[in-house]
Amino acid sequence: MLRASLKRLKEKNDLLICEKEVDPKYELGAVLKYFQNTRPILFNRIKGSNIPIIGGMFGNRKLYYEMIDTTHEERIHAFINAIANPMEPKVIPNGPIKENIIRRNIDLPRMFPIPTFHDEDSAPFITSGIVAFKDPDTGNVYTAVRRLQVNGGNNINVLIASPMMTELFEKFEAQNKPLEIAVILGYDYEFLLASQVSSELYGVDKYKIDSALRGEPLELVKCETIDLEVPAYAEIVLEGVMVPNKRIEEGPFGELMGYYGGKAPHPVMEVKAVLHRNNPILQVAFPCREEHLANGLMREVELYSALDKQVDVNDVNVTVGGGYRFHGVASINKKTEGDGKTAILAALGSNKDLKHVVIVDNDVDIFDSKEVEGIIATRVQGSKDIVIIEGGIGSGLDPSHFLRGVTDKVGIDATKPLGEDGKRFEKAKMPGYENINIKEYFPSI
Ligand SMILES: Cc1cc2nc3c(=O)[nH]c(=O)nc-3n(C[C@H](O)[C@H](O)[C@H](O)COP(=O)(O)O)c2cc1C
């Protein structure tokens, strides 16, 4: 879990350690923002607390691949393999998470240095808490990152946007029954990635996906006050219930794409027990966009699979600039003239959040946004290559459209024509460029 990741990051020289005291209110977020969440940072001295904070772990694509022992080329098939072949986790009798068990006088803001990131945020927020609960019908464990507004004492808001969790909570609510949940903090790369697998699409036990991704059973211990297992090596676990028929005002909160999300009544969790390791480390994720990379990696599986049914897809990028959800770029091996438009249809139908998609040929590096822009500039004629679908379902997190959740969808077919007509799009080649070793010319570089 987290400590094994930190050890590995340190050995790889990928962990920045901050020994200067930082204020969890704004200052910590400002330091994380400086690196755009691409550098993991361990803050050892936090104002007003002796608990260190780790942040920025999950925003760097190359590092993410390394930490889960995969490569860019293998990633999509590795993730599909884990979803298709889940592995049983293992319950063990005890684990470090139970080194401290607190059941009384729970006061979360006093116990943990929970950061505040933006000036209009309504309260400190736990931004990387993985909410876990068991589906009573299937026994499957469901995990997802949800933002958690810390209201004081043992009371936090849980913002649930996913249909699966909303439906279950509402079912419990109708019977006036609480829903038992845990919030898990201090996890690793596989655990976050598994949580981002869409329940709607696959309906799977995410602990089993996690085990398949890590190639060995995730070790779990039983909770103290609820019927659920949690990772034995997590740093902090909050056990409790989502209270039926109770709502508390949540927000505003600076969130996806850097906008403030609105204020609205949302369900409430009452924490019954806090478990933590000795000398726990609090995990945070900057609430903007880079930390959603894990979410984007799973969206790439969806986009790739949707395209794969219709065309010969080469690679896909659900881009960081589009918040890892609004923008997709796909390269295809074009076989017929209809492939570009067909790929647009498949892509825009793959996920409601995908708003703009660009389809290019396999000679384009789709992870180089400058190159993609150049291709749009030179291989697109608006009247025939741009498809606009008005008034589809979109993401409620996009402030640009008039009716929340309703959006136009745009596809750009930037593929070359086949045959003779395509010849004029061939790029000028410079013989020997690939073999230049710049160090031979400038040894100091
Ligand atoms: C760092 C991070 C923060 C997230 N915050 C929220 C959130 O506050 N509310 C939400 O509904 N989804 C949030 N998500 C997305 C969900 O975690 C994701 O949609 C979910 O895990 C997908 O699984 P599901 O289909 O089982 O809901 C966040 C994702 C990440 C990576």
End of a domain among 288, 305, 335? 288
> 220 pairs with which residues across the strands?
91, 231
Predicted pLDDT at 289: 63
Question: Which among 349, 291, 344, 296 is positioned nearest to 318, based on CA atoms?
Answer: 296
C-beta of residue 134 within 8 angstroms of C-beta of residue 47 = no
User: Is residue 425 included in any domain, yes or no?
Assistant: no
Residues 26 and 95 in one domain: yes
What are the residues whose beta carbons fall under 8 Å from the beta carbon of 430, sequence distance 6 or more? Answer: none
Number of domains comprising the chain: 2
End of a domain among 269, 288, 307? 288
C-beta of residue 389 within 8 angstroms of C-beta of residue 360 = no
Share of the chain above pLDDT 70, in %: 99
Structure tokens given for 368:
């180089």
Task: Determine the distance separating the centroid of ligand 1 and the alpha carbon of 349, expressed in angstroms.
Answer: 20
Q: Which domain holds residue 63?
A: 2-288
Q: How crowded is residue 319: how many other Cβ atoms within 10 Å of its Cβ?
A: 19
Task: Determine the distance separating the centroid of ligand 1 and the alpha carbon of 159, expressed in angstroms.
Answer: 10
Q: What is the pLDDT averaged over residues 117-127?
A: 95
The residue to mutate among 145, 181, 193, 301, having the most atoms of ligand 1 within 8 angstroms of its beta carbon, is 145
User: Is residue 87 included in any domain, yes or no?
Assistant: yes
Distances (CA, A) of 88 to 43, 93, 439: 35, 16, 50
pLDDT in tens, 325-339: 999 999 999 999 999
| Closest ligand 1 atom to 192 CA | 31
Please state, in angstroms and rounded to a whole number, the distance separating the CA atoms of residues 410 and 39: 33
Task: Determine the distance separating the centroid of ligand 1 and the alpha carbon of 89, expressed in angstroms.
Answer: 22
Helix (H), strand (E) counts: the chain: 14, 23
Q: How sure is the predictor about 320, in pLDDT bands with cuts at 50, 70 and 90?
A: very high
Task: Determine the distance separating the centroid of ligand 1 and the alpha carbon of 442, expressed in angstroms.
Answer: 47
CATH code for the domain in which residue 343 is found: 3.40.1670.10
Mean pLDDT of the chain: 95
Residues 281 and 378 in one domain: no
Whether 145 is in the pocket of ligand 1, judged by its Cβ within 6 Å, is yes
Residues 208 and 351 in one domain: no
pLDDT in tens, 296-312: 999 999 999 999 999 99
Predicted pLDDT at 290: 63
User: Is residue 423 included in any domain, yes or no?
Assistant: no
pLDDT in tens, 127-143: 999 999 999 989 999 99
pLDDT in tens, 174-206: 999 999 999 999 999 999 999 999 987 788 899
Residues 179 and 58 in one domain: yes
Residues 218 and 96 in one domain: yes
Residue type, 299: R
CATH code for the domain in which residue 17 is found: 2.30.110.10
Task: Determine the distance separating the centroid of ligand 1 and the alpha carbon of 43, expressed in angstroms.
Answer: 25
Residues 278 and 298 in one domain: no
User: Is residue 437 included in any domain, yes or no?
Assistant: no
End of a domain among 236, 264, 288? 288
Predicted pLDDT at 288: 67
Please state, in angstroms and rounded to a whole number, the distance separating the CA atoms of residues 100 and 97: 7
Residues 160 and 197 in one domain: yes
Whether 106 is in the pocket of ligand 1, judged by its Cβ within 6 Å, is no
Q: How sure is the predictor about 160, in pLDDT bands with cuts at 50, 70 and 90?
A: confident
pLDDT in tens, 379-399: 999 999 999 999 999 987 888
Atom 7 (ligand 1): residue with closest C-alpha?
146
Task: Determine the distance separating the centroid of ligand 1 and the alpha carbon of 429, expressed in angstroms.
Answer: 44
User: Is residue 23 included in any domain, yes or no?
Assistant: yes
User: Is residue 17 included in any domain, yes or no?
Assistant: yes
Residues 279 and 324 in one domain: no
Q: How sure is the predictor about 61, in pLDDT bands with cuts at 50, 70 and 90?
A: very high
Predicted pLDDT at 282: 98
Residues 238 and 273 in one domain: yes
Whether 294 is in the pocket of ligand 1, judged by its Cβ within 6 Å, is yes
Residues 267 and 296 in one domain: no
User: Is residue 73 included in any domain, yes or no?
Assistant: yes
Residues 124 and 213 in one domain: yes
Q: How would you classify the pairing of strands 125-126 and 148-152?
A: antiparallel
Residues 237 and 350 in one domain: no
- Check whether 227 has a pLDDT greater than 80: yes
User: Is residue 439 included in any domain, yes or no?
Assistant: no
Structure tokens given for 232:
């034995």
Q: How sure is the predictor about 258, in pLDDT bands with cuts at 50, 70 and 90?
A: confident
